[in-house]
């Protein structure tokens, strides 16, 4: 199913909670309730998420690339093998979630917190961080290469098991 | 890890993370005719067997992206259980002339149309497989980086091959790599640290080292 405008809102607001193979681009999804929903192989490209409170979202092989997340929270979500690459995250909270083997390459994250998140084998290559906190996160085999950072904190996260490059190695020191 | 990616024509893709070698193996199912293919069985685990057997899928073929053990070690177990063709560019892996593939072409296996392109660089036998808008790249390219190479010249060959054969695909093409998370052609064009630094075509001398 291919959607390039607000008409997709009707689809997502239907009673069903399982969606397969959706393709949604250039759409404002701020008013959509994504909590308790399951997405398989769905694409949300260049979409806007503003003040979404997302709880118990389930995603497998989903793309949220080049999207805009503002004042959005992801709590108790289960996201695997997905991609947020190229997205802008402003004031975003990921909490008590599994976000495993997920692509965050090229994100611009500001005032964003990963709190108690399993980020095993995720990638943060060429990402920019400003006031970003990784608190009590599993970052084993997570890759931080060529990142730009200003005010980062990895408190209680297993930085020794993450993969930092020469420049990124300073990230692990945190505050 | 098990996940699901379903296309509209009842084709499903299940990725499996191999605990040995941390490579990705993919099971592609055609629900219409209950047939399946497997890509890069670095391990052939009980969870893969269960997925096939409990749903009565007939495993019809194996596709290998390249001959490194973390992508092929499951073949031993697999061949004890099933008799089926193995498609690869390396004859030693394919085991027959009929299933040794070179260059580029098309296969129709388990009712699924598969395009393949040889993309040497990481290894000489590296092949990528495309099913609809999903590209299985093995170690040729993964999210943010390209595969390791044995020399500067191989790196130059690999980069050129990626530019020509992968970056020419539509930007929405989803890359399902041999390691790490999924990505897209659009993302790799912008953020791949190995591909965004140089204009490749015009600098063979400097890259040849």
What is the distance in angstroms between the CA of the first residue and the CA of the last residue of chain A? Answer: 46
A101, B180: Cβ pair inside 8 Å?
yes
Distance CA A127, CA B137 (A): 23
ipTM of the complex: 0.91
Distance CA B180, CA B194 (A): 16
SS3 B116: strand
A20, B6: Cβ pair inside 8 Å?
yes
Chain centroid offset of residue A16 CA: 23
Among B28, B180, B197, which would you mutate to test the A interface (most chain A Cβ atoms within 10 Å of its Cβ)?
A: B180
Over its length of 209 residues, how does chain B's per-residue pLDDT go in tens digits? 444 555 556 789 999 998 888 999 999 999 999 999 999 999 999 999 999 999 899 999 999 999 999 999 999 999 999 999 999 999 999 999 999 999 999 999 999 999 999 999 999 999 999 999 999 999 999 999 999 999 999 999 999 999 999 999 999 999 999 999 999 999 999 999 999 865 454 444 444 33
Among B170, B173, B182, B194, which would you mutate to test the A interface (most chain A Cβ atoms within 10 Å of its Cβ)?
A: B182
Residue B2's CB is within 10 A of a number of other CB atoms, namely 14
Tokens of B156: 């130059």
| A149–chain B Cβ distance below 8 A for any pair | no
The DSSP line for B33-67 is: TTEEEEE--S---HHHHHHHHHTTPEEEEEE-S--
> Are the beta carbons of A137 and A122 closer than 8 angstroms?
no
Distance CA B77, CA B64 (A): 15
> Are the beta carbons of B167 and B160 closer than 8 angstroms?
no
């Amino acid at each position: 199913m291919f959607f390039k405008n607000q008409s997709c809102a009707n689809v997502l607001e239907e009673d069903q909670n399982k969606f397969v193979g959706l393709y949604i681009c250039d759409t404002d999804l701020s008013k959509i309730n994504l909590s308790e929903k399951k997405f398989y192989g769905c694409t949300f490209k260049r979409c806007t998420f503003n003040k979404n409170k997302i709880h118990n979202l389930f995603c497998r092989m989903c793309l949220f690339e080049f999207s805009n997340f503002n004042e959005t929270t992801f709590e108790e979500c289960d996201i695997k093998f997905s991609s947020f690459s190229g997205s802008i995250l402003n004031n975003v909270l990921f909490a008590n979630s599994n976000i495993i083997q997920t692509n965050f390459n090229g994100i611009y994250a500001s005032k964003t917190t990963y709190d108690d998140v399993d980020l095993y084998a995720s990638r943060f290559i060429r990402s920019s961080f400003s006031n970003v906190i990784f608190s009590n996160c599993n970052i084993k085999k997570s890759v931080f290469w060529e990142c730009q950072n200003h005010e980062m904190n990895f408190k209680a996260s297993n930085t020794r098991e993450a993969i930092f490059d020469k420049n990124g190695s300073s990230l692990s020191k945190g505050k | 890890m098990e996940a699901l990616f379903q296309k509209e024509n009842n084709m499903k893709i299940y990725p499996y993370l191999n605990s040995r070698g941390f490579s990705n193996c993919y099971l592609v199912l055609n629900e219409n005719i209950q047939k399946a293919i497997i890509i890069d069985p670095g391990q052939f685990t009980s969870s893969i067997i269960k997925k096939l057997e409990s749903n009565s899928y007939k495993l019809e073929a194996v596709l290998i992206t390249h001959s490194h053990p973390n992508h092929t070690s499951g073949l031993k177990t697999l061949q004890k259980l099933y008799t089926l063709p193995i498609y690869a560019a390396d004859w030693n892996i394919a085991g027959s002339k009929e299933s040794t593939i070179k260059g580029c072409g098309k296969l129709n296996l388990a009712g699924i149309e598969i395009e393949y392109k040889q993309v040497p660089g990481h290894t000489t036998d590296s092949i990528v497989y495309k099913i609809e808008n999903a590209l299985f790249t093995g170690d040729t390219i993964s999210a943010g980086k390209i595969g390791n190479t044995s020399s500067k010249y191989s790196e130059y060959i690999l980069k050129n091959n990626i530019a020509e054969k992968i970056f020419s695909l539509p930007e929405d093409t989803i890359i399902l790599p041999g390691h790490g998370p999924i990505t897209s052609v659009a993302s790799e064009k912008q953020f791949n640290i190995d591909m965004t630094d140089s204009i490749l075509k015009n600098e063979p001398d400097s890259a040849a080292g």
